[in-house]
Amino acid sequence: GEVCSGHGACTADGDCVCNAPYTGIACSDVYCPYDCYNHGSCDSTGVCHCQGPWSGIYCSQQTVNPLEGGTANFVFRNGYIRTREDVGTIYLNVTRGGSTFGEVYVSYQTKDASAHAHTDYMPTSGRLLWSTGDATDRQIQVDIVGDDHVEGLEAFVVYLFDPSPGSTVGDNATISISANGNDNSDDSAVVTVKIDLPEDRLRLSTAAGAQFASDFVADVCGPNVLYIPTDRVIVKEVQSIDSATSYLTFVILGDPSGPSTDDLAIIIWDQMQDPSSALYRGVATRYVDRNFQPVFKFSTPKAVSEPDNYLWLLGIFIPLAVLVGCGVVAYKRRNQLTEWLLWRLGNMRFNSLMRHRNLDLDEDARADSDRQRIDDSRYDRSGQVKPGDELGDARL
């Protein structure tokens, strides 16, 4: 028969490396993650088809019948916030979109990533309420804990959940907040990949989307890919491309004690260039589009206390200060300056007149010299016209 049932590649050791969604020794079996939680069927492409009130990528989300009125869509105004430890307090705005009819609510809560509650930030949770007709933003207050320890980039998450019946939580339901240590070792990479699944099956606010994000992080941080702690990777957001595909953006956080984000980004790039890499064999990463080139954005700002940050300011202010100083001196001594300018202009005029006068004198001297030379050639010492030059008088 075909090698690995035509669904994979055979290694030098004789083992099959299966292409998603196939599994098994000979890559002859098709699997769906979590067996669709027994709420649907798995087709030949490894995609769950949910039944009854169940939905989501793994059929783990139960559809809620909306009540009459009172529907809304809750989102954070900013899906990714960066701050410093010494900022004290930050405020996150949550907006109510969609219908403004009826009383609605949504819950919120903080969650550790690489930052830890009580040590790096104060945990908070609660419920935001809106009355009918009210569409103003609500704020969530989070206190950042500053200390004197040298730390790298840390992060925690604030997420929305449990919206009122009939309401939803939008795409930007998760905010990643980085608390930069006092050493300013802020180092992160933001990576965007294409996922061959619709956005409604990846939405972070749903149980299925949260599960997919967790699986994605586990796949990326696993021993066959980046081999780093899972708290260094956070799924930032999901955006719809069309009815069948989406963009997924995740953040690789810096860690002074581990591999740099530059090195980790290179590993991600290399793995995505190899169609048979382990990156494409994970529970969630098998849905990453192999033909899409990932987009990377890096952030490594310098410490604001470094002198070279002010060099460009010095290049502007020094010449400006010189000009201002000259202007002040010129204003205070404007009378002397005016007299000097007038004297200078008069001197220039006098020198010009003298040059013209000297030119005229030179012209007269040259004419006299020429006239004397002619006379010397025509007359002898006694003043008589030399013989043969009588015609010269007629010419003159």
pLDDT tens digits for range 93-133:
888 988 788 888 999 988 887 778 888 888 999 999 998 88
Reported pTM = 0.46
Residues 171-182: what's their mean pLDDT? 51
Q: Give the helix ranges, DSSP H, for the chain.
A: 207-221, 261-273, 311-332, 334-378, 390-395
Residue 14 pLDDT > 70, yes or no?
A: yes
Q: Check residue 24 and give its pLDDT.
A: 81
For residue 108, CA distances in Å to 30, 173, 203, 209, 325 come to 38, 10, 16, 17, 58
Q: Check residue 167 and give its pLDDT.
A: 86
Nearest to 248 by CA among 280, 204, 310: 204
Q: How do the residues of the chain divide into helix, strand and coil, expressed in percent and rounded to 5? A: 35, 30, 40
CB 195 within 8 A of CB 246: yes
Instruction: Output the six-digit token pair for 7.
Output: 């669904």
Model confidence band, residue 38 (pLDDT cutoffs 50, 70, 90): confident
Three-state secondary structure call for residue 47: coil
Three-state secondary structure call for residue 371: helix
- Average pLDDT along the chain: 76
Residues 48-71: what's their mean pLDDT? 66
